[in-house]
């Protein structure tokens, strides 16, 4: 018995019966960079729409990591900056259409925050297409697909944001000195004992 059979699973076919390689496997190399999108979806509309898209078996880019929040008004700008700082290439916020908020005004707060945050991000040289707010109702599964596909393509064109990598690069300038001081101390310590 193979390992897969023991687990009760079926190994993923690397080729179709006719010998052709499935596109998903062919186009996605392990090391190839893929956009990472963090998506904050409101429980009442956009998350339901994403659910609908799934149930309807719509195919869309697999790059969005959806985080369900109770309301788009719950999305603190800190979450968005944190997502970028932790390695997101783009952040998508989804909420109910104006007038439809389950909590009456949460989405207006989200809209005002997003507008101000966009200006802040622009000043910090984070490209505009990396952050997006969309109103998607529970019935608009198709819009989830469109918005995610479009955003993934735009972010793909921009390339990786890679803030964790940039931070490490910026900080290499201080670690050089740290290493030098440590080496000097070790040398002095050795001389002292020797």
Q: Where do contacts with other proteins occur on this chain (CB under 8 A)?
A: 73, 76-78, 80-82, 84-85, 98, 108-109, 111-113, 115-117, 119-120, 123-126, 161, 163, 165-167, 169-174, 176-178, 180-181
| Positions of E strands within the chain | 37-42, 64-69, 90-95, 131-135
CB of 5 to other proteins, least distance (A): 47
Nearer residue to other proteins within complex by CB, 4 or 188 = 188
Question: How far is the C-alpha of 67 from the C-alpha of 181, rounded, in Å?
Answer: 44
CB of 18 to other proteins, least distance (A): 45
Nearer residue to other proteins within complex by CB, 7 or 112 = 112
Question: Does residue 81 contact residue 130 with C-beta atoms inside 8 Å?
Answer: no
Nearer residue to other proteins within complex by CB, 134 or 148 = 134
Structure tokens at 125: 């040289």
User: Can you state the angle between helices 77-85 and 163-193, rounded to 10 degrees?
Assistant: 60
Q: Residue 185: what are its φ and ψ, rounded to 5°? A: -65, -40
CB of 165 to other proteins, least distance (A): 7
Nearer residue to other proteins within complex by CB, 61 or 163 = 163
CB of 152 to other proteins, least distance (A): 20
Structure tokens at 43: 């429980």
Question: How far is the C-alpha of 129 from the C-alpha of 63, rounded, in Å?
Answer: 15
SS3 call for 49: helix
Question: How far is the C-alpha of 58 from the C-alpha of 55, rounded, in Å?
Answer: 8
Nearer residue to other proteins within complex by CB, 53 or 81 = 81
CB of 103 to other proteins, least distance (A): 12
């Amino acid at each position: 018995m193979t390992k897969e059979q023991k687990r009760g699973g079926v190994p993923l076919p690397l080729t179709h019966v006719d010998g052709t390689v499935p596109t998903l496997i062919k186009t996605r190399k392990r090391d190839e960079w893929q956009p990472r999108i963090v998506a904050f979806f409101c429980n009442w509309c956009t998350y339901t729409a994403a659910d609908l898209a799934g149930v309807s078996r719509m195919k869309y880019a697999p790059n969005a990591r959806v985080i369900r929040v109770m309301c788009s008004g719950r999305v603190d700008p800190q979450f968005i900056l944190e997502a970028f700082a932790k390695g997101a290439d783009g952040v998508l916020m989804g909420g109910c259409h104006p007038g439809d908020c389950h909590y009456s005004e949460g989405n207006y707060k989200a809209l005002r925050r997003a507008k101000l945050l966009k200006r802040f991000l622009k000043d910090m040289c984070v490209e505009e297409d990396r952050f997006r707010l969309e109103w998607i109702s529970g019935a608009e599964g198709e819009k989830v697909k469109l918005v995610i596909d479009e955003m993934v393509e735009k972010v793909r064109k921009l390339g990786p944001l890679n803030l964790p990598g940039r931070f490490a690069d910026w900080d290499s300038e201080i670690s050089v000195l740290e290493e030098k001081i440590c080496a000097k101390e070790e040398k002095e310590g050795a001389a002292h004992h020797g």
